Copies of this chain bind each other. A is one copy, B any other.
Amino acid sequence: MVTKNDIKFINNLKHKKFRDLNNCFVVEGIKSINDFIDSNYKLIKLYSVDCSHFNDLNNQFQIDYKLLKKISYLTNPDDHFALFQKKEIQSINVNGLIIALESIRDPGNLGTIIRTCDWFGVNEIICSLDSVDCYNPKVIQASMGSLSRVSIKYLNLKGFLKSSKHLRIGTTLNGSSIYDLNLNKAVLVFGNESKGISDELIELIDSKVTIPRFQKNNLPESLNLASSVAIILGEIKRKEL
């Protein structure tokens, strides 16, 4: 059964405060739901038009598509909708590449970055405290299940960089070419979508890198943030091969 209160509860989970208060978040679509189950996220409730897709799970509710449309955040919902318990990331594995994001605002960008990190085997992302919440439904949607495999920790980025023993690389518009870069252990810092890395953090950076621009007139001012992360990870990983 889905009561009016359930619908109201689910609708409220669009808001970070409500997700924090209730320690849970929404995942839609069979692939993503299975990814979170496989990564040992605790399933709280599953609403599905066909529960036979899932093995003996508790808290399954078979519902019709009309009702699914009422609870779903999507215009054209997938057949499956789940609530999971949030996972608190305790510590960061500092033995590899870490992606640090300052004041990232766009949920689609964060979700896409999580998906790209997953592809390239980069499992550690750090976000400044004012960044968009990784349990935002648009982040979950764009990450396509990859959030279940990548650790995201929100912290004071300035403090983290200050105490970091890794090389701190800042991605800017005026650094050396990423094609000359060679690293495997580092914190790779990306700034806000429109402002880039703040002066406060730039001071803590050991080295700046840039993706070379090939348009002759130099008119495009910048690249999309998620595309920049993709290009730089593609280049770093190439050198590992």
A16-58 CB contact bits vs B (8 Å, 1 = yes)? 0000000000000001000100100000000000000000000
Give the interface segment out of A7-15, A127-135, A158-166, A222-230: A222-230
Are B149 and A223 interface neighbours, CB within 8 A?
no
**Complex contacts, A175 vs chain B, CB 8 Å:** none
Q: Quick one: which of A194-227 are within 8 Å of B by CB?
A: 211-217, 219-224, 226-227
If A120-B214, A230-B231 touch, does A219 touch B35 (CB 8 Å cutoff)? yes
Q: How many residues of A contact B (CB 8 A)?
A: 44
Query: A136 near B: Cβ within 8 Å?
Result: no
Give the interface of A toward B (CB within 8 A): 31, 35, 38, 108, 112, 115-116, 118-121, 142, 144-146, 149, 177, 179, 211-217, 219-224, 226-231, 233-235, 237-238, 240-241
